[in-house]
Amino acid sequence: MSRSRLASLTLCFCLQPLAAQTQDLCLGTWNLEFLGAAGDFRNHLPPRTDVDFQKLGAKVRELGVAVLAVQEICGAAPLQKVATAAGPTWRILLGTSGSWDDGVTSQQIGFLYDDARVELLQAEELLQLPQKVDGVPIFHRIPVTACFRDRRTGFDFRAVTVHLKAGQKPADEQKRRLEASHLAEWLQSVLAEPNQDQDLILLGDFNSTYGAEPQRVFERGGGLQYVIPEIPVPTIQHFPEPIDQIVLSAGFTEIPRTSFRVHHDLGGLSKEQWRQTYSDHFPVTVTVQADRDTDPDAGFRPAAPERRLPVALRPEAPAAQAGGAARALGEARWPPALGTQVRVYPVDPEAMLLDGELAAPLPQGPGGWVVVRTTKGLIGLPLDQVRRLDVR
- Which residue type, as a one-letter code, is found at position 186? W
- State pTM to two decimals: 0.78
Residues 55-84 as b or e (16 or more Cβ within 10 Å = b):
bbbebbeebebbbbbbbbbbbbbbbbbbbb
Give the list of residues 6+ apart from residue 392 with CB closer than 8 angstroms, or none.
340, 341, 342, 343, 355
**Residue-level pLDDT at 378:** 85
pLDDT tens digits along 144-190: 999 999 999 999 999 999 999 999 999 999 999 999 999 999 999 99
Which band of pLDDT confidence, cut at 50, 70 and 90, is reported for residue 392? confident
Mean pLDDT of 120-137: 95
**Residue-level pLDDT at 333:** 57
**Residue-level pLDDT at 346:** 79
CA distance readout (Å), 2 to 5, 6, 7, 10, 16: 5, 6, 9, 12, 22
Q: Kindly list the structural domains of the chain, giving each domain's residue range(s) and its CATH number in brackets, ordered by start.
A: 22-289 (3.60.10.10), 311-391 (2.30.30.100)
> Please, what sign has the CA dihedral across residues 274, 275, 281, 285?
negative
Residue (of 288, 335, 310, 25) closest to 151 by Cα position: 25
pLDDT tens digits along 233-279: 999 999 999 999 999 999 999 999 999 999 999 999 999 999 999 99
Sheet holding 224-226, edge to edge: 118-125, 144-150, 156-163, 200-205, 244-249, 224-226
Q: Give CA–CA dist 285/68, Å, rounded.
A: 9
Q: Give CA–CA dist 101/90, Å, rounded.
A: 31
Burial of 178 (0-12, 13-18, 19+ CB in 10 A): buried
Q: Give CA–CA dist 227/225, Å, rounded.
A: 6
Which band of pLDDT confidence, cut at 50, 70 and 90, is reported for residue 285? very high
Residues 186-197 as b or e (16 or more Cβ within 10 Å = b):
ebeebbeeeebb
pLDDT tens digits along 201-245: 999 999 999 999 999 999 999 999 999 999 999 999 999 999 999
Q: Is the pLDDT of residue 19 over 70?
A: no
